[in-house]
Amino acid sequence: MTLAAQSKTLRIAAAADLQPVLPALVENFEKSTGTHVAVSYASSATLATQILNGAPYDLFLAANRAFPQKIVDANLAVEPQPVTYAQGSLVLWARRGILRDPLTMQALTDTAVHHIAVADPVHAPYGAAAMAAIQKLGLAAALQPKLVFAENIAQAAQFGQSGNAECALISKTLAITPAMEQAGRFVALPKSAYPPIEQGAVVVRNAANKQAALDFLKFMRSESARKLLFSGGLDTPAP
Residues 75 and 104 in one domain: no
Tell me what percent of the residues of the chain surpass a pLDDT of 90: 94
pLDDT of residue 50: 98
Range of the domain at 216: 3-87+197-231
**How big is the CA angle at 142 (ends 138 and 143), to the nearest 5 degrees?**
95
**Higher-pLDDT residue of 234, 2:** 234
Residue 24 lies in a domain: yes
| Residue 78: inside a domain | yes
Which residue, 188, 205, 222, sits at the end of a domain?
188
159 domain-assigned? yes
Average confidence (pLDDT) over 33-61: 97
Q: How far apart are CA 102 and CA 172, in angstroms?
A: 18
Mean pLDDT across the stretch 23-52?
A: 97
In a shared domain, residues 221 and 149? no
What is the chain's mean pLDDT, rounded? 95
pLDDT digits (tens, 9 = 90+) for 124-172: 999 999 999 999 999 999 999 999 999 999 999 999 999 999 999 999 9
Confidence of residue 5 (pLDDT cuts 50, 70, 90): very low
Counted domains in the chain: 2
9 & 25 share domain: yes
238 within domain boundaries: no
Together in a domain, 25 and 64: yes
Same domain, 119 and 180: yes
User: Could you tell me if residue 236 is inside a domain?
Assistant: no
Query: Are 100 and 184 in the same domain?
Result: yes
Instruction: Kindly state whether residue 237 falls inside one of the protein's structural domains.
Output: no
pLDDT at residue 239 in the model: 63
> What average pLDDT does this structure show over 60-74?
98
Q: Are residues 49 and 136 in the same domain?
A: no
Instruction: Please choose, from the candidates 181, 180, 184, 196, the residue with its C-alpha nearest in 3D space to the C-alpha of residue 234.
Output: 196
Residue 238 has pLDDT above 70, yes or no: no
Digit-coded pLDDT (tens) for 82-101: 999 999 999 999 999 999 88
Write down the pLDDT at residue 3: 39
Is residue 74 one of the residues assigned to a domain? yes
Report the CATH number that the domain containing residue 156 is assigned in CATH.
Answer: 3.40.190.10
